[in-house]
């Protein structure tokens, strides 16, 4: 099946009357070595791997995935492109094409097909249960996609994700506490995922060329995602706590929490034990430290205190004397 080098891609796009638009994240991989490298890193097990590809485009990666995996789900939100991919893949495999609008998708109904192409927004489509997620992803959905992956990580099934992202974005994912790049997403990823940068990819490997350097990253689960851990059980609460306080990351923890809970009745109820800390700055001296100085684990422990009131969770803050 075709890999499109730059010289092959241009006439193909003309033939299909497709105009690639960088603003829609349409930067296509035109370097075959990089495409092969990504496929190798996925370490496909043909008996076991259910694979989800985000932003499948004309199928540069999809072809190898469908050939080697047990079943693949391919998502792209460009209708012309998904139609082309369907018409191409159906010559070789049993595949289906569906248009996603807002209903739930019953993935069971596709039990006897090898590939399901879904035309729609990867952020909105409910993810099927898979063992691997792969993608040369549109960079503008990078952050919501990572949150969605954390939120829906199925520890019993999902083994790893191999994603091409912007290098600057990868640096935010792995940013250290209190550094310039430390942000909501670093605090979320830092608690739940191991991130490995595996290969820097220059912009010359894409058409059209993006203005940025890219990197292939691997995501795997930390132990905190194990079924019975508090970190796993309170996953959604931690993510919503981060969403609430991180806009105020340069403020003190006390102010960040106050701003979050003010005018948000649901959050104020959910995290009602924070009141005690906020009202007792002499006892809980650490609350005057800036929010961005708290590690993901400390933020998680705080969140848990805020919603359960269990005091021992806060002991480590008292011990380090801050
Ligand atoms: N995998 C291909 C294409 C990568 S470009 C390759 O490596 O060559 C990213 C693709 O994501 C584009 O085809 C674009 O149409 C698609 N895309 C952009 N935004 C999307 C979204 N919100 N949901 C799903 N696909 C999206």
Q: What CATH fold (topology level) applies to the domain 6-224?
A: Rossmann fold (3.40.50)
Task: Quote the ligand 1 centre to 77 CA distance (angstroms).
Answer: 7
Per 3-state DSSP, the chain is made up of helix, strand and coil in percentages (nearest 5) of 45, 15, 35
Give CATH for domain 234-319.
1.10.8
Of 23, 55, 133, best ligand 1 pocket probe by most atoms within 8 Å of the beta carbon: 55
Atom of ligand 1 nearest to the CA of 122: 23
Residue 242 CB less than 6 A away from ligand 1: no
Task: Quote the ligand 1 centre to 234 CA distance (angstroms).
Answer: 32
Name the residue among 37, 54, 71, 42 with its Cα closest to residue 220.
Answer: 42
Instruction: Give the Cα separation of 196 and 287 in Å (integer).
Output: 33
Name the residue among 31, 34, 24 with its Cα closest to residue 6.
Answer: 31
Evaluate whether 6-224 and 234-319 have a shared fold.
no
Name the residue among 2, 55, 47 with its Cα closest to residue 25.
Answer: 55
Locate 292 and state its tokens: 């961005």
Domain boundaries, the chain: 6-224, 234-319
Contact by Cβ (8 Å): 58, 5: no
For residue 22, how many other CB atoms are within 10 A of its CB? 15
Task: Give me the tens of pLDDT residue by residue for the chain, a chain 322 residues long.
Answer: 467 888 899 998 999 999 998 889 899 999 999 999 999 999 999 999 999 999 999 999 999 999 999 999 999 999 999 999 999 999 999 999 999 987 888 888 888 999 999 999 999 999 999 999 999 999 999 999 999 999 999 888 999 999 999 999 999 999 999 999 999 999 999 999 999 999 999 999 999 999 999 999 999 999 999 889 999 999 999 999 999 999 999 999 999 999 999 989 999 999 999 999 899 888 888 999 999 999 999 999 999 999 999 877 777 676 554 4
Protein residue with least CA distance to atom 13, ligand 1: 57
Residue 59 CB less than 6 A away from ligand 1: no
Of 3, 20, 25, best ligand 1 pocket probe by most atoms within 8 Å of the beta carbon: 25
29-to-250, 280, 310 alpha-carbon distances in Å = 38, 56, 51
Of 77, 123, 137, 206, best ligand 1 pocket probe by most atoms within 8 Å of the beta carbon: 77
Q: In sequence order, what DSSP letters do the residues of 163-213 get, joined into one string?
A: EEEEHHHHHHHTPPTTSTT--HHHHHHHHHEEEEEEEEE-GGGEESPPSS-
Residue 119 CB less than 6 A away from ligand 1: no
Atom of ligand 1 nearest to the CA of 35: 7
Residue 77 CB less than 6 A away from ligand 1: yes
Task: Quote the ligand 1 centre to 55 CA distance (angstroms).
Answer: 3
């Amino acid at each position: 099946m075709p890999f499109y080098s730059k010289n092959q891609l241009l006439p193909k796009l003309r033939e299909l009357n497709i105009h690639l638009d960088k603003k829609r994240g349409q930067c296509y991989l035109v370097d075959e070595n990089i495409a092969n490298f990504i496929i190798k890193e996925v370490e496909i097990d043909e008996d076991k791997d259910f694979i989800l590809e985000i932003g499948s485009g004309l199928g540069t990666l999809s072809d190898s995935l469908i050939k080697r995996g047990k079943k693949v789900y391919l998502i792209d939100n460009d209708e012309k492109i998904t139609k082309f991919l369907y018409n191409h893949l159906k010559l070789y495999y049993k595949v289906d094409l569906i248009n996603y609008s807002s209903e739930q998708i019953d993935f069971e109904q596709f039990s006897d097909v090898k590939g399901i192409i879904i035309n729609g927004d990867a952020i909105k489509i409910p993810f099927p249960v898979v063992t691997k997620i792969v993608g040369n992803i549109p960079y503008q959905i990078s952050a919501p996609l990572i949150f969605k992956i954390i939120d829906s990580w199925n520890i019993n099934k999902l083994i790893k994700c191999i994603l091409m992202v912007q290098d600057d974005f990868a640096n935010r994912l792995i940013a250290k506490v209190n550094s310039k790049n430390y942000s909501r997403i670093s605090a979320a990823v830092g608690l739940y995922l191991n991130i490995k940068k595996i290969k820097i990819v220059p912009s010359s490997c894409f058409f059209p060329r993006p203005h940025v350097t890219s990197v292939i990253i691997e995501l795997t689960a930390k132990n905190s995602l194990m079924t019975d851990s508090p970190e796993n059980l309170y996953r959604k609460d931690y993510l919503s706590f981060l969403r609430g306080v991180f806009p105020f990351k340069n403020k003190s923890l006390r102010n960040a929490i106050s701003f979050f809970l003010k005018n948000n009745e649901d959050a104020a109820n959910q995290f009602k034990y924070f009141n005690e800390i906020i009202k007792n700055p002499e006892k809980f001296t650490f609350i005057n430290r800036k929010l961005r100085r708290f590690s993901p684990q400390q933020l998680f422990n705080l969140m848990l205190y805020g919603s359960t009131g269990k005091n021992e969770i806060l002991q480590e803050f008292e011990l380090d004397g801050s």
